[in-house]
């Protein structure tokens, strides 16, 4: 039980952090390229404790988790391609 907490908690936080940072970069690009309508504050994208559900039915952590898992899958595919 303790090992799972020691290993899984940092992996979870890293995945959510990568997802939040990726979403922030993507929306910064959209703000610059199209129009200023997305939040610019990095804290908004990295706030994993916020339980407010948006209009699509997801919390910030759920959206970050989805994007983070997408990057894990891309990383695994990339490692498989370069071996």
Please give the tally of structural domains in the chain: 1
Q: What domain range includes position 43? A: 2-82
pLDDT score recorded for residue 29: 95
Nearest to 69 by CA among 25, 28, 20: 20
- pLDDT tens, residue by residue, 12-28: 999 999 999 999 999 99
Can you list the residues of the chain whose pLDDT is less than 50?
none
């Amino acid at each position: 039980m303790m090992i799972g907490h020691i290993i899984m908690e940092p992996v979870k936080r890293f995945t959510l952090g990568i997802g939040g940072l990726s979403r922030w970069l993507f929306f910064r690009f959209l703000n610059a390229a199209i129009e200023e309508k997305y939040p610019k504050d990095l804290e908004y994208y990295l706030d994993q404790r916020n339980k407010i559900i948006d209009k699509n039915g997801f919390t910030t952590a759920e959206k970050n988790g989805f994007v983070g898992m997408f990057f894990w899958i891309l990383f695994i595919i990339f490692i498989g391609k370069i071996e």
